[in-house]
Structure 1
Amino acid sequence: MPTPLPDQLLVESPEQALALLNPLRAELLSRLEQPASASEVARSLGETPQRINYHIKALEKAGLVRRTGSRQVKNLVEVLYQAVARTFVISDALAASAGVRGKLPEQGALAGLARTAEAMRRDALLLLERAESPGEADVPSAVLTSTVRLASEADRQAFVRDYLAAVEEVVRRYASPDESGEAYTAALAVYPRPERTEAQGKDEGADE
């Protein structure tokens, strides 16, 4: 019988806090309110068992999930995992500590990037369905991707600052003052281009 979960866990370690800011790991915790194997969770998410197993192991190491048993599936023994609580709250003392204060904004921005990318994917699929409807006009949209090489940290900071300011100016110039008209989503992202390896998707040792 599954062990009843505490409603809340106060997170007091930097390792746990950083794990919670990873969108996939946060999703895994929500799906592990009941005991499940990595393969079972992977099927529900449309992910590979190797990738999900890697992230569950990381959550187990951080003390956010625990092993609750195992079961025989054909010739394999699957380990069952369960989250240690239903919700997680980062303590005020941890959020204010010098060792974590710098890391949380960085990881939070990457988590926001992943959430924005997923939201854009969902919106694009809905708009594609809309565009295929009989009598529907073309859906106005645009996308621009570019790679820029920045020589130093100072250049990176200046580029991001000027980039944000330019986009904010365009938004202010064209935004309807009375909130009339159709609403559009304008998403902006700047991030280092990751190096991809042949092992990606199999061994997630270098995953986010």
Structure 2
Amino acid sequence: MLDVTVIEDAEAAAVSLDPIRARLLAELAAGPASAAMLAGKVGLPRQKVNYHLKALERHGLVELAGERRKGNVTERLMRATAASYVISPLALAAVQPDPDRFRDQLSARWLLALGARLVRDVGSLITGAAKARKRLATYALDGEVTFASAADRAAFIEELTAGVGALIRKYHDGDAEGGRPHRIVVAVHPTVKPEAADAAAAVEAAH
């Protein structure tokens, strides 16, 4: 099972967002189970669970883990193909964010558009690498810093911009034969407090 995988197809995204199917995905991420085993956990008849499982299987979100005999019946044990899923902006191709439409380094919405493009591009690279059975070379840096003041934050941004810019100028070689372009995204934003994230999830669930 993969730790995380990307959903690029609009129909697969719609299937995964159905509350019942999302619950089934969560259950199957914890371990293989049959429709009968899942029925009691989600409070639905086995036939209804089977219907949802088949929809998830058609879109590659779950897969057959094995079979077992139970009396005169052969049960299919299903498992999730990943522990978690990310929906790519490609699933909403016509309205996906485009950070090239405007550039504002101090705009939270531009940062969001950059993040969406990152999800889209890395998701596509993962899909292509998997099909080619090749390893994808990536790097990510994640950290947290507490600024004593807004002035310190502004100074940090200025030094970060200058430092990264200097590295880009040092190593960029647009004329290198066989060179491969790489995109660099550096983001700074306030840390989201766990209670705020939980509150947002609760509001979404209420709707």
- Bucket of the pairwise TM-score, normalised by the shorter protein: 0.3 to 0.5
Q: Using CA pairs under 8 Å that are at least 6 residues apart, name the structure with larger relative contact order, 1 or 2.
A: 1
TM-score calculated relative to the size of structure 2: 0.44
TM-score calculated relative to the size of structure 1: 0.44
